[in-house]
Amino acid sequence: MSYLIAIDQSTSATKVLLVDASGAVVDGCSLEHAQHYPQPGWVEHDAAEIIGNVFSAARELCGRHPDKLASVRGVSITNQRETVVVFDRTTGEPLRPAIVWQCRRGDAMCQELRNAGVEPEVAEKTGLRIDSYFSGSKIAWVMREEPAIAEAVRSGAACIGTIDAYLVHRLTSGQAYASDPTNASRTLLYDIGRLAWDASLCERFGVPVRALPEVRDCSATFGETTLGGALPSAAPICGVMGDSQASLFAQCCYAQGDAKATFGSGTSVLVNIGEQFRPAPSGMVGALAWIVADQPTYAWEGLINYSAATLAWLKDQLGLLSSIDDAEALASSVNDSGGVYLVPAFAGMGAPYWKPDARAAILGMSGYTRREHVVRAALESIAFQVADVVEAFARSGAAVRSLRVDGGPTRNHLLMQMVADMSLCELQATDESNLSALGAAMAGMLGLGMQGSLDGLRKLPRSGRMFMPTEGEAEVKRRMTGWRNAVERVF
């Protein structure tokens, strides 16, 4: 049996997984890293801690399976997408904390660019909106506010990359500095039609093109690594994808119209729109789903800022939950939310509203309201937001009848039923909880010749559960109207 090692570097933790040739996860090790909030709206990670966790988790995993290491064919990478690292080109040492995708420090710069009328050019070339969610304004902030680092970038002494490029550089000891198209396309600097860094956009954001990584196909080879000595000999890095696109790939959404939702801190809803890029519906963004064998596939994406993070807020800030896993039982103990709506605009509202200045609210409470109603309203807010995105896709000619779902929150059966009901589509929930890592590994299987085609990947065994809509359209319309009225009140 052949194996791959898949690295999943996410917002909260780093997982290193052993995946066999059938796509089954044999074992894994996970290490969390600290979240840093230097001021309101800012979020940072210690990139040195992250690479240290990669090596530590790899050593622990490989130490548990010495008999399998000789059969490891390659290493694959998936990662949080828009987070950026500035690091020394020679040593790979980070020059400052990584700026995380959630960080809003670029808001003012984004507004400057919108006021200057740049957004149509950005949308046409990148498929994205000008928003500090994406990497461009984070990089521009560094170049404007940190002169010593900016000079190192301009001189070529420093590199600027998304997490995948940083990991590739560190894992190969600087022999490779490369990213894949799914990560490059989240920077506001990459033309997804020409499949190249755009000099004009780089100039607008003040980013030297020479500081950015080479971009290679998702199934290409990105150098070799021993994972810091965890492997007895160097293995090729093959299969690199941003986390949400990787889960789309793992869900075998290879045909136009196939759609998936990945639930995590937020939710990414992606629908495959085929091999030709088309502008996204209002409130959505265009996405480069992947490039495999030189063939690009495109998607539309609805980005929801707060999903499971809303439940974490109930637990950590309000003390309404002792564990996020308690949410399902508490919400199930009442028949409905008692007229309560929770609008989770803790960092503004994402798709399809895109209102960065919106603020969260709990509406409709009365003397009858108990914590169970608030918890149920929090779950419903996740379902309502997914339904908003699915409806926006349908209005633009990409109707979703079946939605493949993954991520930790899919274990909550009540939540999944709510999503099926409000979206009026069937849900296929996989039992595999590591879809992003598996998607990168599946791209690696193609690149390494372990699988010969997408059809071969479709035949890999997979188990899961189905959720069918149970609510009538009139009831769904009533509840969605209540939700949208609540949302309007926070704008």
| DSSP assignment letter at 264 | S
Q: How confident is the model over 288-306, as pLDDT tens digits?
A: 999 998 899 999 999 898 9
Distance CA(358)–CA(349), nearest Å, equals: 6
Q: Inform me whether the pLDDT recorded for 319 exceeds 90.
A: yes
**DSSP-based three-state secondary structure for 259:** strand
Bridge partners (DSSP) listed for residue 44: 36, 99
Query: What average pLDDT does range 129-136 have in this prediction?
Result: 92
Q: What percent of the chain has pLDDT over 90?
A: 82
Give the helix ranges, DSSP H, for 12-158.
47-64, 107-115, 119-126, 135-145, 147-155
Q: How confident is the model at residue 163 (pLDDT cuts 50, 70, 90)?
A: very high
The alpha carbon of 355 is separated from its chain's Cα centroid by a whole number of angstroms, namely 20
Question: What pLDDT is stored for residue 122 in this prediction?
Answer: 94
Q: What is the pLDDT of residues 29-59, one digit of tens each?
A: 999 998 899 998 899 999 999 999 999 999 9
- Mean pLDDT of the chain, nearest integer: 94
Dihedral (CA of 105, 183, 242, 113) sign: positive
- φ, ψ at 182 (rounded to 5°): -65, -35
Write out pLDDT tens, residues 180-201: 999 999 999 999 999 999 999 9
pLDDT band at 432 (very low <50, low <70, confident <90, very high): confident
First to last CA, the chain: 55
Beta strands at 25-32 and 3-9: parallel, antiparallel or unpaired: unpaired
Q: Is 304 within 8 Å of 355 (Cβ atoms)?
A: no
Which of 301, 313, 390 has its CA nearest to residue 344? 313
Q: Residue 342 pLDDT more than 90?
A: yes
Helix or strand (DSSP H, E) at 144: helix 135-145
CA–CA dist 190, 37 (Å, integer)? 29
Task: Identify the structural domains of the chain with CATH numbers, from first to last.
Answer: 3-243 (3.30.420.40), 252-424+461-491 (3.30.420.40)
Beta bridge partners of 28: 17
Does residue 117 have a pLDDT over 90? yes
Q: Exposure string (b/e) for 425-456, b if CB count within 10 Å is 16 or more?
A: bebbbbebebbbbbbbbbbbbbbbebbeebee
pLDDT, tens only, 206-250: 999 999 999 999 999 999 999 999 999 999 999 999 998 999 999
Render pLDDT for 91-107 as a digit per residue (tens, 0 to 9).
999 999 999 998 999 99
**Tokens 């530590």 sit on residue:** 56
